[in-house]
Chains A and B, each alone.
Chain A
Amino acid sequence: MNIFVFGIIASFTLIVALAAATLPKLMHAALSFAVMFLGISAFFFLLGAEFVGLVQVFVYIGAVAVLIVFTILLTPHDVGNVRGFGWSGVVVAIAVFGGLIWAIVKTKSVAIAPSVAKALTVKQIGEALMISYVWPLLCVGVLLTAALIGALILVMEDKRS
């Protein structure tokens, strides 16, 4: 793995993430958010988890980002009010960031290089999912169904009113 490629991907991802967090226009932020996932999936490709990267792009860009822009369109807002900015949040975020960085730097055992490993095939993941993790898989299936129905009920127009 190349430190150069890593640097490019990391800086791209972080810049887009910063844009997603700070851009004043919600739609721009949402689109940056979608692009950010491209960077994250590039990370996954770099780390040898192609499948997760593809799933990430598939789910986030194909579904979650579309949902978010739909929601933005369905909730026309009063612009001036929503653009407020809480500085206390910045302080907290920086504090947490400081704490995390301090912990990472302090922990010597994480300063290791990756081992050489064979690429993970889709078949391996499929077998792991279907053999070792079949219960969680079923539970996630139930959860997704429940979330689907719950979301539908939440946004359903109330016919009575």
Chain B
Amino acid sequence: MTLSTLLVVSATLFCLGLFAALSRRHAIFILIGIEMMLAAANINFIAFWRFGPHTAHPTGVIVAIFAIAIAAAEAAVGLAMVIAVYRHFRTTNVDQFNQLKG
């Protein structure tokens, strides 16, 4: 097991998240996809910390913890927005949220 294999796994996870965020029509899927991408990024942080020269300094771990906290906040606000948008449009299909269409 090398760093590159971990990176391949996290890249795969990232692209699955990207795929979920780009292709699915339901607003919640976009959030799920974003959370997946963030988790993939967290794996990278931890991996680089673990494989890096300074294991004693938990910088990567700290960044991952902050990323988790911020992702939680983002999820809370994002889901609140989904509910608010649903109240307004009566749908959660992102194809129909096009009021900003130029």
Q: Chain A residues in contact with chain B, CB under 8 A?
A: 1-3, 6, 10, 13-14, 17-18, 20-22, 26, 29-30, 33, 36-37, 40, 43-44, 47-49, 51-52, 55-56, 59-60, 63-64, 67-68, 70-72, 74-75, 77-78, 81-90, 92-94, 96-97, 100-101, 104-105, 107, 110-115, 117-118, 120, 124-125, 128-129, 132-133, 136, 140, 143-144, 146-148, 150-152, 154-155
- Interface size in chain B (residues, C-beta < 8 A): 73
Closest A residue by C-beta to B27: A75
In the bound complex, do residue A86 and residue B25 qualify as a contact, i.e. CB atoms below 8 Å apart?
Answer: yes
A104-B4, A105-B4, A154-B81 are known; give 17 further A-B pairs, CB within 8 A. A10-B5, A13-B9, A14-B12, A36-B36, A36-B39, A43-B46, A47-B46, A55-B68, A67-B79, A77-B91, A84-B95, A93-B16, A115-B55, A128-B62, A147-B74, A147-B76, A154-B84
